[in-house]
Amino acid sequence: SVRVAELSAVSTLEVKLKGASKTFAPCAWQMHPVALDYGAVPVGAETMLGVALTNVGTDQCFVTAMQLAAGTDPEFTAAPTRSALLDPGDQVVLKVGFRPASAGSFAGLVEAWVNHPTDNHPTASLLGTGVESCFALQPTLVDFGLTKLGCGPRIREVAGFNTCSAPVTIADAFIESPASTELTLAGAPTLP
C-alpha cells in the first residue's frame, strides 16, 4: 500500500500481490548448439543464429531469462527471453545477431539458469569475425517468416556481389550446420 498526502488530503492506494511456489525435480536440459560460430561476416553486414535450451527430462524445468552474458562483445545482440516453465520436450530459443563494426575477432556467451542443484547454468559460446571483403553475399540474414504446415516451400534468394578488381571463383555453395532438416539449398548455380 502507498499513502499519498497532498495538502490536507490523504489517500491510500493498494495493489494486491499474489504468488505461488512449486517443488521441481532437478531439470534435465540440453543446450544446442553449445557454440555458435558466425564465421567471416563482412563489416557492416548482419547475420543471425539461434541457441535452443530444451527440457530433455520428464518434469517441468524453470528457466530464467536466456540472455547474453556480461562481457559479451557489443557486436552481438539479443533480446533476453522471459523466464518460463518448460514442459518435457519444450524449448526456448534465443536469437543472436552478429554485426561487426570493424575487422577483427569477437566473442561472447549466451547464458541461462535452470532449477538444478549443481548443473544449473547452461551456456553457449559465441564467435565471429568481421572482415573487409570485396566479395559479399546479400542479404546476410534470410527470414522465411511463419509458414503453415502443409503449405509449399518458401524460397528466398541470396546473391553474390563481386566488387574485387579480379574475377572470383565460387567453388561450393551449401548450408553450414543447419539447425533443421527443413532448410535445403534449391536452385544453386552450376559450380565452379
pLDDT at 175 (0 to 100): 78
Per residue, the 3-state secondary structure of the chain, as one string, reads CEEEEECCEEEEECCCCCCCCCCCCCCCEEEECCEEEEEEEECCCCEEEEEEEEECCCCCEEECCCEECCCCCCCEECCCCCCEEECCCCEEEEEEEECCCCCEEEEEEEECCECCCCCCCCEEEEEEEEECCCEEEECCCCCCCCCCCCCCCCCCCCEEEECCCCCCCCCCCCCCCCCCCCCCCCCCCCCC
Q: Is the pLDDT assigned to residue 35 strictly greater than 90?
A: yes
> Residue 177: pLDDT band by 50, 70, 90 thresholds?
low
Q: If you average pLDDT over residues 37-47, what whole number do you get?
A: 88
For the segment 24-34, the average pLDDT, to the nearest whole number, is: 93
**pLDDT digit string, tens, across residues 113-168:** 999 999 999 999 999 999 988 887 887 778 787 877 888 888 888 888 888 888 88
Q: For residue 103, what pLDDT is reported?
A: 93
Predicted confidence at residue 92, as pLDDT, reads 94
pTM of the model: 0.71
* pLDDT score at 40: 86
**What gap in Å lies between CA 58 and CA 25, rounded to an integer?**
9
Model pLDDT, residue 133: 80
